């Protein structure tokens, strides 16, 4: 124990020296709250070794912060008392290409006695990853990041209000090369910043909505995937600022239009072998992968309270908007909440599933942890998948949907929160303190926006994540 601590200290000192030599002045230690906001404490680079050893103080009240910076309470959390320690993950310390002189590290939260904080979302994600590993299973996950870029209004760093004009820096069509030409320096800088930070970019391209783009990154360990999406988002934001632009990752930038998703890709492996590529099995799904996905599909109404956590999320969740609002799965079906991607026959890593419904207001650590918990519960309870859905369920009549057994996912945050409240497997996996805090934040967000028009909700949340 003593020598392990000494070795850690030594590594942290070497790292701090390397960062200083690279010109890094500050290190941003981030964690994501239950409302999906990335919160931060920053330290001078030379404090990194001390932070790795003793942590940095931060109040537990942030567990019950809402997306508008109001504070609620849960049975276990809230109020001015107490303190926690943020511990940077030294393995993820990254110099930030678009913020010269800065580095970043995700943090785990412990109490003052050194015990894991029961509401630490990153440790929840790690616990679930380890629970899967104890059953011999490995998850490879990755998030897609969609965002809308606008020109930053001079002198108005924080606009808002339903009548705020959105000044798009590109006019080209959806998925059009015109947008790439119009913003070629910007997109090159985003790609370069991500790649020098060790993020493996798979694609970057224009999306459907005005000013909308998307970047996808390589899948990996679930905690790493959640760290990556935080780093990707903050990097896109930082490059945008340097170009006089601003990026919105909000679920609904303009009420009624196609929104920003943050789809979660997930692949299941046993002993390094994909369970999505079983020879002779339908769609290549090994029985365990079927049960895992069956568990995720069953739990989706409750998972929405994690993956679609804001009243603004439900502005995005409209049928026929590629957001996956029906509780069904389909092979390469972009209107199914769970899209199975079978992969090319010669691709050894091909084959995984995509949860289309989630958005970037979600805490990504909660998202990966809850999906693993739901999938493992599916395996334990031998869950099955119903027949796949082809085509857009949104264009079917009510009767035909009922005949096929397809139901709409929760259309309000209240409904999703009610489902999470009643979900025994998610309650057990998250534990009382985390489950209670998430629900308290959902209830407070609902109450805050209960009387608001759609346009006002979109405007109030547009620049929050």
User: Which of 71, 246, 88 is closest to 154 using CA atoms?
Assistant: 246
Closest-by-Cβ residue to ligand GLU is 261
Using the rule CB under 6 A, give the single segment among 45-53, 160-168, 253-261, 386-394 that binds ligand GLU: 253-261
The reply to whether 422 sits near ligand GLU by the rule CB under 6 A is no
Q: Which residues bind to Mg ion, rule: CB under 5 A?
A: 214
Site for ligand GLU in 198-227 (CB under 6 A): 207-208
Q: How far is the CB of 218 from ligand GLU (least distance, A)?
A: 17
The reply to whether 335 sits near ligand GLU by the rule CB under 6 A is no
The reply to whether 261 sits near ligand GLU by the rule CB under 6 A is yes
Task: Report the alpha-carbon angle 412-413-419, nearest 5.
Answer: 100
168 interface partner picked from ligand GLU, Mg ion, none, CB below 5 to 8 A per type = none
227 interface partner picked from Mg ion, ligand GLU, none, CB below 5 to 8 A per type = none
CB 250 within 8 Å of CB 263: no
Q: Which is nearer to Mg ion, 214 or 298 (CB)?
A: 214
H-helix or E-strand containing 184?
helix 184-196
Among 19, 226, 230, 258, binds ligand GLU (CB under 6 A): 258
Distance CA 227, CA 381 (A): 30
Q: How far is the CB of 259 from ligand GLU (least distance, A)?
A: 5
Using the rule CB under 6 A, give the single segment among 7-15, 255-263, 271-279, 394-402 that binds ligand GLU: 255-263
Question: Taking the alpha carbons of 226, 330, 213, 457 in that order, is the dihedral positive or negative?
Answer: negative
Distance CA 6, CA 9 (A): 5
Three-class secondary structure of residue 161 per DSSP: coil
The reply to whether 323 sits near ligand GLU by the rule CB under 6 A is yes
Q: How far is the CB of 142 from Mg ion (least distance, A)?
A: 13
Q: How far is the CB of 362 from ligand GLU (least distance, A)?
A: 12
Contacts of 346 (CB under 8 A, 6+ apart): none
Q: How many residues make contact with ligand GLU (CB under 6 A)?
A: 11
Q: Which is nearer to ligand GLU, 207 or 298 (CB)?
A: 207
Distance CA 45, CA 22 (A): 11
Site for ligand GLU in 131-150 (CB under 6 A): 146
Output the DSSP codes for 141-160.
Answer: EEEEEEEEEEEPPTT-SS--
Q: How far is the CB of 211 from ligand GLU (least distance, A)?
A: 12
Site for ligand GLU in 342-381 (CB under 6 A): 356
CB 371 within 8 Å of CB 295: no
Closest-by-Cβ residue to Mg ion is 214
Distance of CA 99 to the CA centre of its chain: 22
First-to-last C-alpha distance (Å) of the chain: 40
Strand partners, 97: none
The reply to whether 316 sits near ligand GLU by the rule CB under 6 A is yes
What tokens does 317 get?
């969740």
Distance CA 153, CA 462 (A): 14
Q: How far is the CB of 168 from ligand GLU (least distance, A)?
A: 16
Distance CA 154, CA 343 (A): 46
Q: Which is nearer to ligand GLU, 262 or 434 (CB)?
A: 262
Q: Which is nearer to Mg ion, 110 or 322 (CB)?
A: 322
Query: Which residues bind to ligand GLU, rule: CB under 6 A?
Result: 146, 207-208, 258-259, 261, 316, 322-323, 334, 356
């Amino acid at each position: 124990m003593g020598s392990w601590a000494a070795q850690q200290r030594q590594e942290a000192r070497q790292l701090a020296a390397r960062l200083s030599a690279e010109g890094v002045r500050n290190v941003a230690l981030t964690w994501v709250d239950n409302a999906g906001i990335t919160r931060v404490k920053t330290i001078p680079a030379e404090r990194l070794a001390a932070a790795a050893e003793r942590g940095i103080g931060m109040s537990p009240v942030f567990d019950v912060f809402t997306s508008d910076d109001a504070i609620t309470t849960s049975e276990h959390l809230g109020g001015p008392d107490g303190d926690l320690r943020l511990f940077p993950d030294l393995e993820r310390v990254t110099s930030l290409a678009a913020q010269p002189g800065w580095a970043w590290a995700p943090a785990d939260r412990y109490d003052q006695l050194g015990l894991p904080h029961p509401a630490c979302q990153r440790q929840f994600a790690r616990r679930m990853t380890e629970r899967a590993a104890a059953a011999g299973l490995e998850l490879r996950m990755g998030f897609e990041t969609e965002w809308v870029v606008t020109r930053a209004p001079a002198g108005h760093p924080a606009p808002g209000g339903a009548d705020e004009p959105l000044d798009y820096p590109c006019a080209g069509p959806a998925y059009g090369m015109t947008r790439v030409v119009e913003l070629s320096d910007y997109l090159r800088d985003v790609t370069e910043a991500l790649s020098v930070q060790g993020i493996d970019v798979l694609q970057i391209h224009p999306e459907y909505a005005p000013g909308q783009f998307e970047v996808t990154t390589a899948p990996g360990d679930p905690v790493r995937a959640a760290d990556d999406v935080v780093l990707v988002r903050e990097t896109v934001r930082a490059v945008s600022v340097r170009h006089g632009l601003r990026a919105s990752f909000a679920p609904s930038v303009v009420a009624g239009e196609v929104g920003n998703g943050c789809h979660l890709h997930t692949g299941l492996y046993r002993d390094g072998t994909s369970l999505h590529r079983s020879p002779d099995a339908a769609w290549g799904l090994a029985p365990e992968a079927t049960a895992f996905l069956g568990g995720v599909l069953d739990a989706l109404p409750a998972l929405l309270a994690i993956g679609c956590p804001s009243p603004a999320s439900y502005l995005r969740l409209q049928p026929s908007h590629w957001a996956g609002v029906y509780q069904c799965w389909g092979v390469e079906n972009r209107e199914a909440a769970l899209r199975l991607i079978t992969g090319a026959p010669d691709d050894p890593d091909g084959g995984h599933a995509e949860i289309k419904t989630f958005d970037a207001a979600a805490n990504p650590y909660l998202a990966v942890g809850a999906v693993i918990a739901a999938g493992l519960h599916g395996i334990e309870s031998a869950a099955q998948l119903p027949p796949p859905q082809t085509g857009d369920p949104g264009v079917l009549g009510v009767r035909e949907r009922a005949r096929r057994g397809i139901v709409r996912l929760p259309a309000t945050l209240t409904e999703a929160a009610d489902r999470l409240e009643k979900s025994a497997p998610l309650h057990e996996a998250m534990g009382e303190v985390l489950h209670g805090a998430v629900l308290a934040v959902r209830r407070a967000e609902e109450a805050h926006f209960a009387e608001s028009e759609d346009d006002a909700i979109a405007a109030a949340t547009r620049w929050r994540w």
